[in-house]
Structure formats: structure tokens, C-alpha cells
Amino acid sequence: MVEALTIGRATAPSAGTRRSAVRALSYAFFAMALLFAAVAATLGDVFFFRLATEALIFGGLALSVDLLLGRTGLLPLGQALFFGFGAYVSALTLKHLAPSLPLALALVLVSGTLVGLVGGLIAIRAKGVYFALISFGLAQVVSKIVFNTRELGASDGLIGVPAPVVGLGVASLDTAHAPSFFLLVLAGMALLLALLMRLMDTPFGRTLDAIRTNEQRLAFLGFDPWRYKLAAFVLAADIAALSGALYPMLRGFVSPELMFFQVSGNAVINVIVGGTGSFVGALYGSALLTALKSVVGSFTAHHAIAIGALFVVSVIFFPKGLIGYLAPALERRWSRR
């Protein structure tokens, strides 16, 4: 099998080589996460376990943004709506129905699909900046409703959410135990990443790429871009909602701030810093920015300035993001062998 197309004296890596490079970087991410877990467990440090778990959870939100932005060409500015929705449904389930992780995730998946379908039917009627503004507006409306609903705790949110124990046959996993919950979330993100990367190799995934490249030409070929964009929107809503469902198990509370624009904006920044379209770039971006926010935040409360500066530098000097530069470098190294 030919792995590269020779153009003159230069060698252009094939799509298969690019996928192999991204896959290798994905393995590297999870290997580093496991190494981190081993070191943190040795040191007995709970704080960094919690921080890393939060980075993974918000990495899940960034994955949903990358599906829309990096693969479908839609810029969502209100994806926090589904993240916060999943967090509230999970918190209400755990607090008032039963402290069961499978039950919470099942209810979040069903309700998140319905909400995503409604939001998609409204938002994807528009294109470009108008889609971004509609998604932003939907999140603002819902967040203000939650903010003023006393039954949902209003501005204080819901506190005292119990951490469920997950049965694993002969053993059980307590989500209140920081290392165990970190490994559970890490396994969930690995599964989610593998499913998304596999999905993008199917005709559905290639159609989303075609929509991003030239939606009008795809319509001329007899495809209906609207249906594919709606399916991508609902899938992204499910991913964001399921990621949000894990948040109350980590922090023990949820608040309307989870639906605010800052959460959506941070997810977009995570994707752009990590590199759009690769999915694993979203996880790298989330880990980098969470670590940066923690380190800078330990010195000053104005950590948003550092994040904003990093974002500006990334856009100007590294528009392809971290994966956008690491993957080609890895390909060139392989091609020289």
C-alpha cells in the first residue's frame, strides 16, 4: 500500500498517515494522563486529581464544539446550554430520584437528544455568524430562566448532590474517591474519542467534512446538508450534555454559570488552541488551559488576562493549533525513516 504521494522531490503524507499521526498523539495524551494519575496517586494529591478530572469533563464539552466547528463548519457560541442542561438533569436525578450513574446518564441522553433536536431545528436554519448568534441567544435565554427559577436553586444553583457508587460486577467504584473518578472519566473520554474518530471514517463523517468544505456543491450532488447538520447538532448536544452530567459528581453542586457564555467561549478557545478537526486537540487544549488557569490563578485573580493573551498569540502565530503543528511534524519524521 502506498503511504505517501510523491510530488517532485517532496513527499506529501497520505490521509492514512495523517490519521496515524493523530492517533499516535491520542495515545500519547492518554499515556500522559495515566502517568499523571500514577504520580498523583503516589503523592496522595487530591487537588490535582480534581483539577485534571475537571479538565477532562470540559474537554468533553470541547469535543462537542470540535464536531460542529472543526468537522461541520458551524461555530457554536452557546454549547454551554447543553453542558449545563446535562449537569442540572444529572444533579436532579442523583438528588431526588436515585444516586445511580447509569440512570443519570440515561436520562441526560434522552432529554439531551430532545433539547438538542429543538435547538437544532431553530439554530441550523441560519448560516455563518447568524448560526453563532442564534446558538448564543438560546443559551442566554435558558441560562436566565434557570437563574431566576427558585425550584432550581436560582442563582445559588443546586447543592448537596450525592456522589453515586458504580457497580462493576465483582467490585464497585465510588465517584467520591478522586483517583477512581478520574480514571472513570478518563475511560469515558477515551471511549468517546474513539467513537468520534471512528464515526468520521464513515460516510456520515465524510459528508460532514464535505459540508464544511463546500455545502452548496454537496447539495448539487443530491445530498440534503440540512439533515446532516441537524444530526451533527443533536450528536454534539448529546456529547456536551453527557459531559455536563459528570460535573455535579465532581463538585457536588451545579449553578447557572455553567450555561453562561464564558463556558461556551472557553470551549471554543480550547478547540482553537488544541487544533480544530482532530478531536484530540480539544482534549489537549482543555488540559493546557485548565492547567494555565490554575497556575496563573494561584498568583492573581486576573487569570483571564493570561488566557486571553494565549488565545491571541495562538490565533496569530499558531492558527492550526497544537495538533495542527505536531501531527505534520510527526508525519515528516516518519517519512524520513
- Lookup: cell for 21: 499521526
pLDDT at 332: 83
**Conformational region of residue 73, where left means phi above 0, alpha means psi within -120 to 50, and beta covers everything else:** left
Contact status, residue 259 vs residue 84, Cβ threshold 8 Å: yes
- Lookup: cell for 325: 503543528
Contact status, residue 82 vs residue 261, Cβ threshold 8 Å: no
252/159 Cα distance (integer angstroms): 6
Greatest CA separation for the chain: 68
The gap between the terminal CA atoms of the chain, to the nearest Å, is 16
153/96 Cα distance (integer angstroms): 14
DSSP state of 301: S
Angle at 126 between CA 123 and CA 277, to 5 degrees: 75
pLDDT at 8: 41
pLDDT at 257: 93
pLDDT at 15: 66
**Burial letters 259-274, b for 16+ CB under 10 A, else e:** bbeebbbbbbbbbbbb
CA dihedral 97, 100, 101, 107 (to 10 degrees): -30
Contact status, residue 211 vs residue 229, Cβ threshold 8 Å: yes
Please write the tens of the pLDDT for every residue from 66-123.
999 999 999 999 999 999 999 999 999 999 999 999 999 999 999 999 999 999 999 9
Q: Is the pTM of this model over 0.85?
A: yes
Residues in the chain with pLDDT < 50? 1-12
Phi/psi at 336 (5° precision): -80, -10
Task: Determine the number of helices (DSSP H) and then strands (DSSP E) in the chain.
Answer: 12, 6
Please write the tens of the pLDDT for every residue from 120-152.
999 998 888 999 999 999 999 999 999 999 989
E strands, 199-283, in order:
253-254
CA dihedral 219, 223, 229, 230 (to 10 degrees): 130
**Listed residue (236, 282, 299, 259) closest to 137, CA to CA:** 259
129/77 Cα distance (integer angstroms): 10
